[in-house]
Amino acid sequence: MSGKNPRLACGFPNDYNPPVIISTYQQALDYLYSFIDYSLQRTYQYSDHTFDLGRVHALLALLGDPHRKYAVIHVAGTKGKGSVSAMADSVLRAAGYRTGFYSSPHLIDFCERIRMGGEPIAHERLAQIVNDLQEAVAKVPGLTTFEITTAAAFQYFAEERADVVVAEVGLGGRLDATNVVTPQVAVITSLSYDHTHLLGNTLAEIAYEKAGIIKPEIPVVSSPQEGEAMRVLLDVTRQRNAPLTLVGRDWHFAPRSHDLEGQSFYLWSAREQTLMDEMLDRSGEPQWIPMRYEIPLLGYHQVINAVTAIATLFVLKERGYKIPEEAIAKGLRSVHWEGRFQILHRAPLVIVDSAHNRDSARRLRTALDDYVPGRQVVLLFGASDDKDIAGMLDELSPRLLRMVATRSTHPRAADPEKIAALARERGFPAEVQADPAQALEHALRLAGSEGVLLAAGSLFVAGAVLTEWPQLSRKIFAAKEQEMGPLAVISETGG
The per-residue pLDDT for 479 is 59
Residue 385 to residues 45, 388, 390, Cα–Cα distance (Å): 17, 8, 11
57-74 per-position pLDDT tens digit: 999 999 999 999 999 999
For residue 115, pLDDT over 70 is answered with yes
**Which stretch of DSSP H or E encloses residue 490?**
helix 486-492
251-272 per-position pLDDT tens digit: 999 999 999 999 999 999 988 8
Q: Specify the higher pLDDT residue, 287 or 395.
A: 395
- SS3 labels along 409-464: CCCCECCHHHHHHHHHHCCCCEEECCCHHHHHHHHHHHHCCCCEEEEECCHHHHHH
Q: What does the alpha-carbon distance between residue 82 and residue 29 come to, in Å, rounded to a whole number?
A: 23
Q: What does the alpha-carbon distance between residue 422 and residue 417 come to, in Å, rounded to a whole number?
A: 9
Q: Would the pTM of this model clear 0.85, i.e. be above it?
A: yes
The per-residue pLDDT for 4 is 36
Q: Which amino acid is at 367?
A: A
For residue 493, pLDDT over 60 is answered with no
* Model confidence band, residue 303 (pLDDT cutoffs 50, 70, 90): very high
User: Cα-Cα-Cα-Cα dihedral of 116, 457, 492, 446, to 10°?
Assistant: 150
- Helix, strand, coil tally for the chain in percent (to 5): 45, 15, 35
Q: How far is residue 216 CA from its own chain's centroid?
A: 26
The per-residue pLDDT for 197 is 62
For residue 12, pLDDT over 80 is answered with no
The vertex-393 CA angle with 390 and 398, nearest 5°, equals 140
Reduced to 3 states (helix: H, G, I; strand: E, B; else coil), residue 36 is strand
Mean pLDDT of the chain: 89
Q: What does the alpha-carbon distance between residue 46 and residue 49 come to, in Å, rounded to a whole number?
A: 8
Q: What does the alpha-carbon distance between residue 423 and residue 242 come to, in Å, rounded to a whole number?
A: 45
Please, what are the domains in the chain?
7-68+123-157 (no CATH), 69-97+163-337 (3.40.1190.10), 342-492 (3.90.190.20)
* Model confidence band, residue 441 (pLDDT cutoffs 50, 70, 90): very high
The per-residue pLDDT for 285 is 62
